Structure 1
């Protein structure tokens, strides 16, 4: 980590400006907050500025919450990672392999059809041209988009990022607990962590101090909100809202084994599958490897009008949260911070 805190913040401000960033960059090492950089408007029409405590959507960044919920059920011996989905969910998937397990869903190796295949589609808004987003209020509402489709490949064959798999995991949590998925995560994770500003809010009932997501049309110099571009309420594959301090509380609680036992936390954060060279995937979390060891754990999320990256660097006891109400920016700022730290110390975070 750079010794000069002022120089670090100057670099973060500069990289944020270059990326035309709108949001919050929150960096902490140990107990010391190194940066609380804030830029842009939470509401452009009213020119209401973002603050450190503004709520932002995090899209797929909350798949990790779903994974933790499943791990909690495993600890309670309600299910196991080897449990086939047919034994823990009363839903019909006529064309799915019978040997698909919880582990396959958690690691994106199930081979099931996705309702939004990110390797084939690049415009999430296309999904909602014929299906109004205001009807997507619960996990079951996603089932018609993939339930009767055929497998993409045999279960366990390879990694293929899959949103539908996490919808199924959320349905399993609902059936096994008797709670709505969002209620379970808010009570068993957010409340436990003291994340009192976080939740799965409906877009037509957003609480105070929540950033609106913006989609820019650079060609015409215009913008619009993402209200008609994402489901009205988030769920098991994405869509929660959080603040930078709340996300930091989450990381600290998770790594201090307050959400899961030490053994189960290690299972969650274990590199279960290879994605590509030096990139691994655990249960709901990405991992970057160098010289045979993990130097970075991270989650990320991208939806129309939303972008999010949050990383943990175990070697330096550092944690980074970057939230934005635009479609890009966090990745570039993350790389700039990592490069600056490597330049000043001669080694990675």
Structure 2
């Protein structure tokens, strides 16, 4: 059989992959390689230490931060959004709870309809992106969307719900959401390079996100200038490996709480998977993962307990990660 390194190198060359691939088995790194350019205009290569946007990969960190607050007694799964919203977002139903929001079963209207965008690059934020720098800044974007179905009676992947979770966490603690994620999730996990960065002041180690496999157009006009609960955190392949080690060792949430989060709450046949509380789950197997897809970003970080395999594929263009993800799924059992 072709070696793992040769197989990934060949696929990266064939597809023009730009990003980092890391594979660990039983906590031993079998592959960690960077490909392509972090900054095409200046021909700066990606390295294994490059910071990449993770888009909706941040949702899992949001869920874990919220669960830490549940463990502390600051929130409960039954806490209603309305109890912390006051007069804001009047269309959010009175019975929508933290648990509904975590499971994408709240039924609230979404500001970003992923199904309506034929191409992820076609979506334009309803307000200028530079105005979205804090979670409270999202209130005008979240407002005015009618309920789609009664809370708990359906499933619809929902970006607004995770921004709402960030808002609830902020209001319950009085602490800015990026700081909550840092102190409740990243620090216990040893994720020292993971943070919500502003797209208009990226540090030198951060990759620019590109809208296609070639060309110089970046995603800076497509995404909020700084992410919130539904996406936008930057990370590295090493930090994501550390994340899985810490998560499985009980350093972020207790093993009992983690078991609750990875228990399937919904079948998601359209995407050939299931969903828990903040985690994507294999349709029939035991794999669990974080995933992000947006203009200039494609990302998956997966752990399969039955084989002790963890992999991260993180790319700085919209569709870059998926051919490598398919290769690794085929290699390690789908």
| TM, length-normalised to structure 1 | 0.90
The answer to whether structure 1 residue 240 and structure 2 residue 268 are counterparts is no
Query: Equivalent residue for 1:345?
Result: none
| Deviation at residue 124 of structure 1 after TM alignment | 5.3
Residues of 1 paired with 2:324 and 2:243: CA distance? 21
Say which one has the larger Rg: 1
| Deviation at residue 130 of structure 1 after TM alignment | 5.9
The answer to whether structure 1 residue 208 and structure 2 residue 199 are counterparts is no
312 and 87 in structure 1: CA distance in 2 versus 1, 3 angstrom threshold:
same
| TM, length-normalised to structure 2 | 0.94
Residues of 1 paired with 2:91 and 2:85: CA distance? 15
Contact 1:65–1:185 (CA under 8 A) maintained in structure 2: yes
- Equivalent position to 1:261, from 230, 254, 259: 254
**Structure 2: gaps of 5 or more residues:** none
Q: How does 1:1-349 map to 2 (within 5 A)?
A: 7-123=3-119, 128=124, 131-216=127-212, 222-276=215-269, 279-290=273-284, 294-341=285-332, 348=333
Contact 1:116–1:124 (CA under 8 A) maintained in structure 2: no
**CA offsets per residue over residues 224-271 of structure 1, 9 Å max, x none?**
111111111011100000000001101110111101112111111211
Contact 1:124–1:303 (CA under 8 A) maintained in structure 2: yes
64 and 309 in structure 1: CA distance in 2 versus 1, 3 angstrom threshold:
same
Contact 1:63–1:238 (CA under 8 A) maintained in structure 2: yes
Residues of 2 paired with 1:195 and 1:91: CA distance? 37
Report the secondary structure of 1:310's partner residue. Answer: strand
Contact 2:126–2:141 (CA under 8 A) maintained in structure 1: no
Q: Tell me the matched-pair count.
A: 333
115 and 262 in structure 1: CA distance in 2 versus 1, 3 angstrom threshold:
same
Contact 2:121–2:211 (CA under 8 A) maintained in structure 1: no
Residues of 2 paired with 1:138 and 1:91: CA distance? 19
Report the secondary structure of 2:211's partner residue. Answer: strand
**CA offsets per residue over residues 47-77 of structure 1, 9 Å max, x none?**
1110001000000011001101111111112
Residues of 1 paired with 2:206 and 2:264: CA distance? 34
Contact 2:89–2:139 (CA under 8 A) maintained in structure 1: no
Query: Equivalent residue for 1:344?
Result: none
Residues of 1 paired with 2:317 and 2:215: CA distance? 13
Answer with 188-197 or 275-284: which moved more: 275-284
Residues of 1 paired with 2:283 and 2:53: CA distance? 28
Report the secondary structure of 2:17's partner residue. Answer: coil
Residues of 2 paired with 1:46 and 1:93: CA distance? 44
When the two chains are superposed, the root-mean-square deviation of aligned CA atoms in Å is 1.8
**CA offsets per residue over residues 293-341 of structure 1, 9 Å max, x none?**
x321111111111111111111111100111111112222111122133
